[in-house]
Amino acid sequence: MANMGGWTDIWALRLGGLLLPLLFLGTAGSQLQVTTAPSSWAHLGSRSLLQCRFDVGGPVALDSLRVQWYIGEHVVACYNQGRIQAQPGASLPSEKELETGDASLSLAVVTPWDKGMYKCVVWHRNQEHQGMTTLHLLAAPMISILRQPAVGDTETSLLCHVEGFFPKEVDVVWLRDGQVLKGFPCSSPQRNLDGTFTFTMTYTFTPTHKDAGSVFSCRVHHMALRQPLKEDIPLDIRGSTEVDHTSTMISAVLGIGIITGIVVITIMKQKSRSSRQLQFQDDPGPAPVRSPVLRPPGWAVSYSVSEVQGPERCLLGQEVTLSCSMEGTFPEDVAVTWERIHSKDRMVPEIDKEQESSEHQTLLPALPPGWRVTEEKADTRFTSSLTFTPTLQDDRARVRCCFLHKVESIKEERVSPEIQVWAQPQVSEIQVLPEWDPRDKVPFAVQLHNFYPREVPQIQWGCDGIWSWGEDPAQVDNNADGTFTATSIWRLPSWSLTRPELRVRVCIQHSPGEPPRERELSLRAAGLLQPPEVSEISQPESMATGKGVTLRCHITGHFPGELSVTWLRKGKGEATAVILEDSAECRVEPGMAVLARDGKSFQQQTGLTCWMSRDQGAEYICRVGHLAL
């Protein structure tokens, strides 16, 4: 076989003296034997050697030796009379090793797509024999647990994220203080684009303070592990619904009253936990809240307070600032407090009159770690700012800003709209999935990692500038950190992929006003292009004078299916070959490309029928053109 500028020429047998003797060579009493191991195991990312030994019953003649490795119907590597061809990452032994009967296949870095049944075929002289071996792959899982404090008497979920394992079968359990927990639902492992699998096990329960200090463990059994993998997480309980877990309220309630024109600010102490009852106020709703303040008749307000100002959406992990201002005439020693409230408003403990106090002081609410307040005063304007880095726990929460002054009886509250936390997706490169279903369509896939909220961004697929809306991602997975990952798949018919420069594109629009994210992949870069393997031209069944003979050539393993076939004839003693076309002397059968069983390559048979009365000593050539050559 020779590769010549995009063409593969198969030089036919010279008719006459060479052809006739070959017709009578038999295969009886074949001494060629091929031996392979039934199966092999390899870890993903490691090197693997698939053993194949052969014995010809004597010295090996390299000029008569041909070795070919297949996975399914796809050629992985080939040795043919001194020439070695192999797919990237695959290699065959040197000729010196081949002479010893070693035809083993080496894979430099094993990937999930390398698993499967392999066939080692050896030809020596006129003999052929083959052996089969199966490559099994292993990838050990990794564990990550989302660590966050639990809240007493509030439903809590523990997430164990197991990723990067292969094969799919995995056993994951939650344990509490060494005892296996049961009775919670399990999902199925999800395939990643690299062929490995991911699985999340969630355990949901309602802890009490008695559970503090318990050790929860996630344990994983997998065939790639010599011993089970386990990660522990001690249960950290903070607060309870009795204290106010939906708000970072101050732990006392300011009571403001007016007695004979004198304003009194009273601190009402909390009851003991055993006797305290809680009352829920209504959700403040999206509209800002202004607290009523009791003032004497004729009171004139000489100031105004703005609403809480800030961005409509907060990017996850990116610092944001909210502000609120008082403008006009007001006391210089006005105090400002900020607090975070969740979807339910603060919970107010019922007041116990026996525990009321006449202390006159302001209790500041505790803000979450990392939140900071700054103030700026200029003439008649006082601005307080709250700066923080939003997390997913802040989504749908609100913040309350309160301006306070005891003597002047000032208490002005403003509540922000709900904080909208969002995260842009990390967009993977376009990849071709290893499993094609249906097999006549190529599945292109892109993954969107770590986006929030769950609404899938707008995805549009296209090819060479022609856009087409892709179907919604088949699966949206929950990540251990609370964000989401989605996979979008677009399938193109194999017959439509005819140019190596053809480019598949995908455009992701996370939200209006945001710049779109684009990815593209050419047919060549996708690794889909496979050159054809062309067999030797078959020997004719008859050489009787005046009767026609049919020469055939088998073309396999190419992608895409489109190729050109040209038959040529070079007469005895002639320097150049002549292209043959249908005529009274010959008939050309170019054949038709047929999809192989795996759907990832094509095969085709071409033939030439000639009437050989004048062809003694002529040579025939089958020339194949393909865009991968």
pLDDT at 354: 39
Assign domain 33-138 to its CATH superfamily: Immunoglobulins (2.60.40.10)
Q: Which of 351, 365, 359, 344 is nearest to 275 (CA)?
A: 351
Mean pLDDT score, 595-613? 79
pLDDT in tens, 5-61: 344 444 333 333 223 222 222 333 458 999 998 888 898 888 999 999 999 989 999
Question: Got the DSSP string for 552-596?
Answer: EEEEEEEBSS--EEEEEEE-TT-SS-EE--SSSSEEEE----EE-
Torsion angle of alpha carbons 161, 164, 169, 173, nearest 10°?
-20
Model pTM?
Answer: 0.52
Element (H, E) at 528: none
Query: 588, 498 in Cβ contact below 8 A?
Result: no
Model pLDDT for residues 211-238, shown as the tens digit of each residue = 888 999 999 999 889 899 999 988 887 7
Q: Which of 221-235, 292-306, 511-525, 577-591 has the lowest mean pLDDT?
A: 292-306
| pLDDT for the residue 146 | 76
**For residue 10, what pLDDT is reported?**
41
Identify the CATH number of the domain defined by range 306-342+368-412: 2.60.40.10
Instruction: Give the other-Cβ count within 10 Å of 179's Cβ.
Output: 9
| Radius of gyration over every alpha carbon of the chain, rounded to an integer in angstroms | 38
pLDDT at 544: 55
- From 494, 443, 500, 449, select the one nearest 476 (Cα to Cα): 449
Task: In whole angstroms, give the CA distance from residue 345 to residue 302.
Answer: 30
pLDDT band at 106 (very low <50, low <70, confident <90, very high): very high
pLDDT at residue 539, rounded to an integer: 67
Q: Where are the domains of the chain?
A: 33-138, 142-238, 306-342+368-412, 426-525, 533-626
- The set of residues, in sequence order, having a beta carbon less than 8 Å from that of 485 and lying 6+ positions away, is 447, 448, 449, 450, 451, 476, 477, 479
Quickly state the pLDDT bin for 240 (edges 50, 70, 90).
very low
Per-chain mean pLDDT for the chain: 77
Q: What is the pLDDT of residue 306?
A: 93
Share of the chain above pLDDT 70, in %: 77
- pLDDT at position 347, please? 33
Residue 276 has pLDDT above 70, yes or no: no
Q: What is the pLDDT of residue 473?
A: 59
What is the third-level CATH fold of 426-525?
A: Immunoglobulin-like (2.60.40)
* Average pLDDT score over residue span 488-511: 82
pLDDT value at position 540? 63
For 347-353, what is the mean pLDDT?
34
Question: What fold characterizes domain 533-626?
Answer: Immunoglobulin-like (2.60.40)
The amino acid present at 513, given as its one-letter code, is: G
Task: Please tell me the total number of residues recorded for the chain in this structure.
Answer: 629
The tokens describing 402, both together, are 């309160």
Quick check: helix, strand or coil at residue 95?
helix
Sort strands 441-451 and 426-427 into parallel, antiparallel or unpaired.
antiparallel
Give the pLDDT mean for 84-111.
91
| φ, ψ (nearest 5 deg) of residue 344 | -95, 140
List the strands of the sheet with 156-165, edge to edge. Answer: 142-145, 156-165, 197-205, 190-191
Read off the DSSP letter of residue 58. S
Q: Do domains 426-525 and 533-626 have the same CATH topology?
A: yes
What band does 177 get if pLDDT is binned at 50, 70 and 90?
very high
What percentage of the chain exceeds 90 in pLDDT?
23
Q: What CATH fold (topology level) applies to the domain 142-238? A: Immunoglobulin-like (2.60.40)
Average pLDDT of the segment spanning 486-500? 82
Exposed / middle / buried, residue 387 (Cβ in 10 Å: 0-12, 13-18, 19+): middle
- Provide the 10 A C-beta neighbour count for residue 56: 19
Q: Which residues does residue 173 pair with via DSSP β-bridges, in sequence order?
A: 219
pLDDT attached to residue 491: 86
**Counting Cβ atoms within 10 Å, is residue 155 exposed (0-12), middle (13-18) or buried (19+)?**
exposed
Give the model's confidence band at 515: pLDDT under 50 very low, under 70 low, under 90 confident, else very high: confident
- The mean pLDDT value for 536-561 works out to 76
The tens digit of pLDDT for each residue in 390-418 reads 988 888 889 999 999 888 888 899 999 99
Tell me the C-alpha distance between 605 and 375, whole Å: 82
